[in-house]
Structure 1
């Protein structure tokens, strides 16, 4: 099993004297049940934090933190930088993925459904902006950066400051708090090292995004 979180888990566990780690692939929806049934000892697979999950597991401090941005026409003609900008201009149309985190952000902020344009996938979101069906596409910054490389033809705004961050870390059973506390001590050291930067860069994540953000903060995300 490979990826940013498994690589970080291996590095931190090595510092704790744990070298024998066996990766087991399970369906996303079965991760927490598998942990609760003790079929696995820890989850390190991008299980993003939110209130309902934090009530069921104990998370380490975050390893991957995702920010949000808007994909807009070149030059950002409507000056869309924040969710408040969308609220202030009822003529703006924002493309979102149905059921996605970004749709939830707009709904929580009170952006009317009439200002939201549902798209089937990321490519459709970019096309909605290019064809003027939408003034912006609301998506994680990293996802937009990938689209910029593969599709192009749009501009990415700076991180949306009034959108909540999301993030993931390793997750343990509720009876493993002491183990998580020990893990977090070594994780903090690793996150301050070049080794952490190398792992994050390898997998296309921003290492700085996970610094200065806490699991307690990310566990406040609704859902």
Structure 2
């Protein structure tokens, strides 16, 4: 084989290899290689993800995602705040690259975007009067103690309580978290229901007027898992993110970063995979 022919063959192999690499690289890697920042999208969902006074990304999901990205060697990050309903459309429209908003992994969402492996287990819990006088720990205990539950209108807690035997006239519906706290503080309700992270924040802000129950007392079907959202054509970056997250999740460094937002050992996702969650939630 002469040198000219050998050079032609090698050039062809190089072109094919380069073409395969380009084909496997998604838009996010293209942006990174061009020196563009990684844009993280989130809404104003305390304590999951929200903007600080200076617009910086706060919340335990942002803290976690930034930690994973740092482990991957990426620190050129641009926060993008939007409405909750705009997170998935904004991601797929290319307005940002990653959703760090604290989004639960659900079958309907798995059809539209790709999720990282779970980074948090998101269960329900209650706020109750100090000392938990009616010994409320789960929905069944509400019915057993003839307790009045308050929660937000349209919250999933309503159906969960009814399924556990709580009478409809024992379920008070209010606009949102502020009103849930007010009802329990005033004694109009024995327990206020919501996600653990929501009610934990209410308890922390109450000055000791209420306390939060143990989320592990809730039934398995009341539990969801949150992940980081990606475009489906960024599978290459997602695979690298999952590998880095596996090393970072639950580490001393990670737990220190998220502690101020109420994320503790009980918030770790356990052994559930995104594939399982997409099929079962």
Q: TM-score, normalised by structure 1?
A: 0.82
Where does residue 219 of structure 2 map in the other structure? 162
Task: Give unmatched runs, 5+ long, in structure 2.
Answer: 1-55
Secondary structure of residue in 2 paired with 1:24: strand
Q: In terms of Rg, which structure is larger?
A: 2
- Cα distance in 2 for residues equivalent to 1:10 and 1:76: 37
The higher-RCO structure (CA 8 Å, 6+ apart) is 1
Instruction: Please point out which of 237, 242, 251 is paired with 1:193.
Output: 251
* Superposed CA offset, 1:69-100 (max 9, x none): 222233333322211223445x3321111112
Q: Name the structure where helix makes up a greater proportion of residues.
A: 2
- Cα distance in 2 for residues equivalent to 1:121 and 1:142: 14
Alignment of 1:34-183 (within 5 A): 34-88=90-144, 91-107=146-162, 109=164, 111-151=166-206, 152-159=208-215, 160-162=217-219, 164-183=222-241
- Cα distance in 2 for residues equivalent to 1:31 and 1:178: 21
Task: Give unmatched runs, 5+ long, in structure 1.
Answer: none
Q: Name the structure where strand makes up a greater proportion of residues.
A: 2
Q: TM-score, normalised by structure 2?
A: 0.67
After superposition, the CA RMSD in angstroms is 2.7
CA contact under 8 A between 1:191 and 1:211: conserved in structure 2? no
Alignment of 1:7-46 (within 5 A): 7-46=63-102
Secondary structure of residue in 2 paired with 1:14: helix
Q: CA separation of 1:101/1:12 partners in 2, compared to 1, >3 Å: closer, same or farther?
A: same
Shift, 1:218, TM fit: 4.6
